[in-house]
Amino acid sequence: MFSRLIPRRCFKVWYLLVVVYQSFCLFRYHQVADGTGASQFMNAWASACKGLPLSSIRHDRAALMPRDQPTPTFDHIEYVIPLPKPDAEVTSNNRPVATKKIRFSFDMVKKIQSKAVKENDERGFPTYSTFESLTGHLWRCITKARGLSGDIETRTTIICDVRRRLTPSISEDYYGNAIFRSCARTLVTQLTEEPLSYAAGVVHASIKRLDNDYIRSAIDYIEHRRQNTASFGRPLSTVLSPDLKVTSWLQMPLYKLDFGWGTPVYAGPSYVPFEGLIILNTSHTQDGSVDAILTLFEDDMAKFENICFEVPN
């Protein structure tokens, strides 16, 4: 229903911002700013509406510039798009896609995290964050719901804010795009047969890999690709299966926004353009619950809903 808020016409000019009053819909160009930047913008907008002073921001992009001679030092698989299966688009063309918001209560989130951490303690490994544990759980459940099996590789691309990962770190008041990808990958058999801690561990390792050296290499890699490739980016595919893409809005205070008439009852995407995307967001209940907004084929979604709250003891 939220897709109705987006004007259905071809823009002759691509606007940086489109606002539709009634429910309150934003359309923004992601290359201008990431989620943190969008949050800064909306906070400033809300403050302006209430006559409050605005916080200062920085636009200096120097910290994210490539070296004079871009020299990647790592293999950046997160920016290499896997070749689609020959029959993937054909078999999926007639399958309707569903977008749903699945709420994981505070108790359920802690149960999932505790399960991953307990299994890790038994192996002597480090603990995992809420994001890592829940992402691992969703990855396993969705893979099972999709009916995948065997030695098929499955990837989860995770969108990471690197402001605090660079040396020196980027100031928190930086307005721009400071997100990079990490790629967690494994085989379907391992993901579904190993315990939850395995999936959380694969996610954890992929995020931990994003240190200063890796990010600097990624910047050079992107610049090198930009200079040598006419079109750089994901092909226009609407299906990610057997893969996923996960982004976290958990640090964005969307439900604390107040333009003068109170806080929102829903804050989230109006439209999800492809199968296999997960957005983790705080719940409007503000009690520690997490909303997983995800898009799957309808028949896979039904299977997912039947198993997503099952956490083995």
Active site residue: 30, 107, 173, 211, which one?
Answer: 30
Determine which one of 224, 258, 284, 299 is catalytic. 258
- Count of Cβ atoms closer than 10 Å to residue 235 Cβ: 8
CA gap 204, 119 in Å, rounded: 14
Using CA atoms, how far apart are residues 198 and 210, in angstroms rounded to an integer?
A: 19
- In sequence order, the 6+-apart residues with CB closer than 8 A to the CB of 228 are none
Neighbours of 256 (CB within 10 A): 14
Contact yes or no for 281/291 (Cβ under 8 A): yes
State yes or no: is 75 an active-site residue. Answer: no
| Rg for the chain, CA atoms, rounded | 20
173 assigned to active site: no
Candidates 289, 293, 313, 294; CA nearest to 104 is 289
Name the amino acid, one letter, at 150: G
Cα separations in angstroms, 160 against 182, 183, 203, 226, 298: 7, 10, 12, 21, 28
What's 53's DSSP letter?
P
C-alpha angle with apex 177: 171 to 179, nearest 5 degrees?
A: 90
Residues shown for the chain: 313
* Cα–Cα dist 18/208, whole Å: 36
Sheet architecture: strand order including 153-161:
97-104, 290-297, 277-282, 244-248, 153-161, 179-187
What tokens appear for 71 in the block?
A: 């020299």
Written as six digits, the tokens of 62 are 């120097």
Positions marked catalytic: 30, 258
